[in-house]
Chain A
C-alpha cells in the first residue's frame, strides 16, 4: 500500500514501463519516461536548494511536463503549488510570496510576465520550454539541464504520509486567496477510495478536464497513475468548444470522465454525444456544483449504460460524500443528493443547538472527520482555527474536524442533500468564489465607496456575477474601468459581467448591505 504519492508512479512504472501514462497537446510519455524525467527534475530541484517541505510553484498551461513536475516536486520532498496560468500577475505574485516559493517551474514567457519583485524573490526558475538565449538572468535553468541528472532513482528523502504534498489556493473572503494544505495521506485516502469504488484498471482511459490548481484533477492524475491507466489532459482550446471536446472523448475513447456539471451541460446543449461513438465510456463523475436535474436526466437517457456518480467535498476534504445515481429513481427525483460518506470518512450535520442531527428531515452544517481532512490554510492560523476545529463530539482523544460551511438536510433515504451556504461563497463553473474577494477588489479602487457582488443563478454555469457600486463622486467611474481594475487582481471568472452604479447601496435594519434586495431589484445580466 502506498503511503506517499510517488509510490503510485514507481509501482506502475515497474509494471507498465512502455505504456502511455500521460497524453497532452498531441504528445505523450510512457510510465518509464515519466518516472525517469521526474527523477531527474527532482535531483535538479534538490540541487536548486529544495529541501523537505519547501514549496515549489508550477506555473504554465497544462502539458505532459505538468505531471512530470508534480511528481518531481514530491520526489524531492517538496510541496507543489499549482498556479493558475491565466490568473492576474498580482494574484500569482501574492501566492508566491504567501507560501514562500523560492523555486518555480515555468515557461520563459510566464516568468517574464511576473512583476520584478516576485522575479527577484525567486532563487531559481526551471524553464519547461526553450529559454531565450539573452537576458535570462541568473537562476534560470532550461529543461535540457535535466539530462545532467540521474534518471534511475529519486533523491533520498524521508517522508511520511503526514507530510504536505501540495497546496491548492482557493478564493478567500477577505480579499486574498487562501492556500489549502494537503498531505500525502489526504490525497491517498481519496485516491484509494476511488480506485476501489470505481474499479479503475490499466485498461482505463481517464480524461483530465479540470485545471491542475483545481482539486478535481487529483483524481484524474493520481488514479490514472495508480492503476497504470492513461490520463488525457483537456486543454483550453478543447474545453471551450463542445464539439471539439466531444471529438476528444471519441478520439481517445475515454472510459472515465470527471468534470464539473457545467462542462457536461455544454456538451449536452452544443455537441452530439452518442453512446455508440463512446463504446468504452463506463463512468462519469461530476463534482463542484449542483447538477441541474433537467440536464442530468438528459445525460442519463443519452448514455444509458454509463454509471453516473455525484461526488461532493470542499478542497479541504477533497471528496467526502458521493451519490451513485439510481436510474430507476431518477425520473421521479427533483433534487440530487450529495449522498453518503465515502469509506474511511465520517460526515455529520450539526444544528443550531450544536447537536448532531440524527433524524430524517433535520438540517445542519456539514462536518467532516477522517484522514482526508486538511491541516488548514497556509500561514493563516486564524482562518484555520475557525474552520478546522477540535472534535467536541468525542472526549477521548484530540482530533480535528472540518466544518464545511455547507448547510445540508438528512433525508429519509439516509442521503444528505445540499441546501445552501452559511456565508457568501458561491460556485460558478465549479469554481469557489467568495463574493467578499470580488468586493475587496472593487473597493481597492480609489473611486469606489461601497460595493456589493451579487450571484445570479444560471442554469448552465451555476452562477453569473454582477456588482452594484457606489462611487465617492457620482459619474466618475465606468464599468469598463472597474472591470479592468478587477482584472489586475482577481481571475477572469470572478470579474462581474455587469456593474451597476447607484448613489448609495440599500441597507438592512442592521446596517448591512441588503444583498437580497439588491439581487431582486438590480439590473439583469444580458443573456
Chain B
C-alpha cells in the first residue's frame, strides 16, 4: 500500500467517524461496514460527505456517482477517490 492510499483512507475514515458517525452516536466504524445499514449516513450526511470529498481531494463527483455502489463504506469511498485521482 502506498502512502497516498493510506492518506486517502485515513482522511475518509476520520471524516466519517468524527463528522458523521459521532453525531449519530456511533463510535466505531470498520472500513468495510455499510454506512447505510449502521445508520451513519442519512440524506443530508451523504451530501456533506460528497462536499468533503470534493473539497478535500479536489475531485468532482457527479450526481449519478452518488450511489450505494460508490459510497457504501470507507473502503468504497476510498476506491472512488483513488479512481478519480488516476484519471
Contacts and interface: CB of A to CB of B under 8 A. Distances in A.
Interface residues of B, number: 22
A487 B71 CA distance: 23
A487 B66 contact: no
Nearest to B64: A243
B76 interface: no
B44 A483 contact: no
The winner among A270, A429, A496 for most chain B CB atoms within 10 A is: A270
A460 interface: yes
Q: Count chain B CB atoms within 10 A of each CB in A241, A263, A461 and give the residue with the most.
A: A241
Contact of B47 (A237, A239, A270): A270
Contacts of B47: 270
B27 A262 contact: no
A244 interface: yes
B25 A483 contact: yes
Contacts of A244: 67-68
Nearest to A496: B23
A266 B25 contact: no
Interface string B46-85: 1100000000000000011011100110000000000000
A198 interface: no
Contacts of B72: 237
A495 B42 contact: no
Given A429-B43, A492-B39, A493-B42, A240 B68 contact: yes
A484 B66 contact: no
Interface in B26-52: 26-27, 36-37, 39, 41-44, 46-47
Nearest to A498: B23
Nearest to B46: A240
Contacts of A301: none
Nearest to B41: A240
Given A236-B36, A262-B43, A483-B22, A241 B27 contact: no
A266 B44 CA distance: 9
A242 B64 CA distance: 8
A492 B68 contact: no
Contacts of A270: 47, 63, 66
B24 A460 contact: no
A262 to B, nearest CB: 7
B22 A480 contact: yes
Contacts of B27: 480, 484
B24 A240 contact: no
Interface string A460-489: 110010000000000000011001111110
Which of A262, A460, A484, A492 counts the most chain B CB atoms within 10 A? A492
Given A237-B68, A270-B63, A484 B43 contact: no
B38 to A, nearest CB: 9
A26 to B, nearest CB: 14
B25 A486 contact: yes
Q: Determine the interface band of chain A, counting residues with CB < 8 A from chain B.
A: 20 to 34
Interface string A434-474: 00000000000000000000000000110010000000000
Contact of A241 (B26, B37, B39, B66): B66
A514 interface: no
Contacts of A487: 24-26
A236 B67 CA distance: 11
Interface string A243-259: 11000000000000000
A271 B42 contact: no
Given A241-B46, A461-B44, A483 B67 contact: no
A243 B42 contact: no
A263 B24 CA distance: 20
A495 B25 contact: yes
A89 B44 CA distance: 24
Contacts of B46: 240-241
B66 A243 contact: yes
A461 B48 CA distance: 14
Contacts of B37: 236
A260 B28 CA distance: 31
Contacts of A86: 39
Contacts of B23: 483, 495-498
Nearest to B68: A237
B4 to A, nearest CB: 27
Contacts of A262: 43
Contact of A242 (B25, B42, B63): B63
B42 A492 contact: yes
Contacts of A237: 36, 68, 72
Nearest to A241: B67
A272 interface: yes
B68 A241 contact: yes
A240 B25 contact: no
Contacts of B42: 240, 492-493
B36 A492 contact: no
A460 to B, nearest CB: 7
A243 B63 contact: yes
9 contacts: A236-B37, A242-B66, A243-B67, A270-B47, A480-B27, A484-B25, A484-B26, A497-B23, A498-B23
Interface of B: 22-27, 36-37, 39, 41-44, 46-47, 63-64, 66-68, 71-72
Kindly list the 6 A-B residue pairs having the minimum CB-CB distance in the complex, ordered from nearest.
A487-B25, A484-B25, A237-B68, A483-B25, A480-B22, A492-B39
Interface of A: 86, 236-244, 262-263, 266, 270-272, 429, 460-461, 464, 479-480, 483-488, 492-493, 495-498
Given A242-B66, A483-B23, 9 more contacts: A236-B36, A236-B37, A240-B43, A241-B46, A241-B67, A429-B43, A460-B44, A484-B26, A492-B42
